[in-house]
Amino acid sequence: MNNPYEINTAPPTIGTPQDAATLRELLKTPYDSVYKNPSWDSLVEFLERQEPESEKKREVAYLSQLNPRDKALRASLKRYRDNSSKFKKIREVFGEPSRYHPNQLLSKDYLPSSGLCQMELMYRLACKISDLKHLYQTGALAMDPFDFIRWRLIKKAASFMRNPGDNPKKSIRTIVYKLCDDSVGVMSRPYQDSVMRHAVLMSAAQRNHLSAYGPRGRWRKYWLSDKRDSPYSTRAFRSPQKSRLTEEDVADHNSGSPLPLASRRSQRHAAALARARAAAASTAPVYTGVNAFRAQQQQRRREAQMRQEAEERQAREEGRPEAE
């Protein structure tokens, strides 16, 4: 008699031999026939254009040597050289031995109709993967570079899905292109990611490549370093320095004799300059626009003119004979 409460301890059988065979065939199937959408641009076809592009570059370089003054040939040669560098970088990151593919950044339901296999987009993505590989190799980045970009891209794409049923498909290409940018414009700001930007700048600072990220690379390197001063330390504020030695520095204040009128005027003038320097040094310089910069220049010119007039007046008073 069978016990209805008896527990079957035999290991369960998951799948059938037919399922296993199907899975093995599926794993052998290339990417293009399984995952790729027919409307997407092909990465393989793109990389096949590298050799014809190199041949055109060599032809234009030869013609440019024969006609060195031809501006159109020089511009065409520069374009072919730039494309050659981009082809090389894209093949390095997304080539045959690589396990990365641009169209695997997101689910295929969220990709644009032509995919992400365009030159400018793949080149920008390949450069960021190379930057993050440096952090990954040094241990500063725990995630795989491609997975890190996918993580930040998914979080940024989620910010564009505010209502149920929203799809950021139309914005994905712009997000990928501007994810690491330091966007200043209001229209570009929603696409940037501060975490991704900080990681890329860290890699550039360690490799001394901050000059490729705009003219503010010097203060970025100082900001990203671990040796920067605290904003609350005494070294963060500059002490006012005197530009020259004044009469007050060498005067004998214990003599009791009154100073001449010209000396007292020069002392007041020096004290006013010292106060102005102290006020300027107590605040960090902040760029507030072109108009403010021009106003500061005009103020400096007025101060220089006032100092010159005061020195000329002092020289005239010192050279005037005293009345008997």
164 and 37 inside one domain: yes
Residues 90, 47 contacting (CB under 8 angstroms): yes
**269 confidence band (pLDDT: 50, 70, 90):** confident
- Which of the listed residues 224, 255, 285 is the one where a domain comes to its end? 224
Residues 218 and 310 in one domain: no
Query: Do 130 and 269 reside in the same domain of the chain?
Result: no
3-state DSSP assignment of residue 202: helix
Q: Which two tokens stand for residue 289?
A: 């626009």
Same domain, 168 and 310: no
The tens digit of pLDDT for each residue in 35-88 reads 677 888 888 899 999 999 999 999 999 998 898 888 899 999 999 999 999 999
Burial label for 177, CB within 10 Å (0-12, 13-18, 19+), is: middle
Select the more confidently predicted residue: 36 or 184. Answer: 36
Residue 263 to residues 169, 258, 282, Cα–Cα distance (Å): 76, 10, 28
Predicted local distance difference test score (pLDDT) of residue 113: 87
For residue 2, the model assigns a pLDDT of 53
Structural domain includes residue 113: yes
Within 13 A of 77's CA, how many CA atoms are on the CB side? 17
Distances (CA, A) of 62 to 51, 66, 86, 92, 283: 17, 7, 21, 27, 58
Are 217 and 271 in the same domain? Answer: no
Do the domain assignments include residue 303? Answer: yes
Selection from 19-23, 65-69, 284-288 with the highest mean pLDDT: 65-69
Across the chain, mean pLDDT equals 74
Residue 126 pLDDT exceeds 90 = yes
- The domain tally of the chain equals 2
Asked if residue 190 and residue 139 are part of one domain, the reply reads: yes
- 84, 53 contact by CB (below 8 A): yes
pLDDT of residue 123: 93
Domain that holds residue 271: 264-276+296-317
302 and 215 in a common domain: no
Q: What's the gap between Cα 195 and its chain centre?
A: 11
In a domain, 85, yes or no: no
Identify whether 185 is part of a domain: yes
Residue 145 maps to a domain: yes
Q: Give a yes or no: residue 250 inside a domain.
A: no
| 220 shares a domain with 148 | yes
Range with lowest mean pLDDT among 5-14, 81-90, 199-208, 238-247: 238-247
Dihedral of alpha carbons 202, 207, 211, 213, sign: negative
Residues contacting residue 167 through CB under 8 Å, at least 6 positions apart: 109, 110, 161
CA atoms within 13 A on the CB side of 45: 6
Alpha helices in the chain (DSSP H): 17-28, 31-34, 43-48, 50-66, 71-94, 119-138, 145-158, 172-178, 194-206, 217-224, 247-250, 261-281, 290-319
pLDDT attached to residue 5: 47
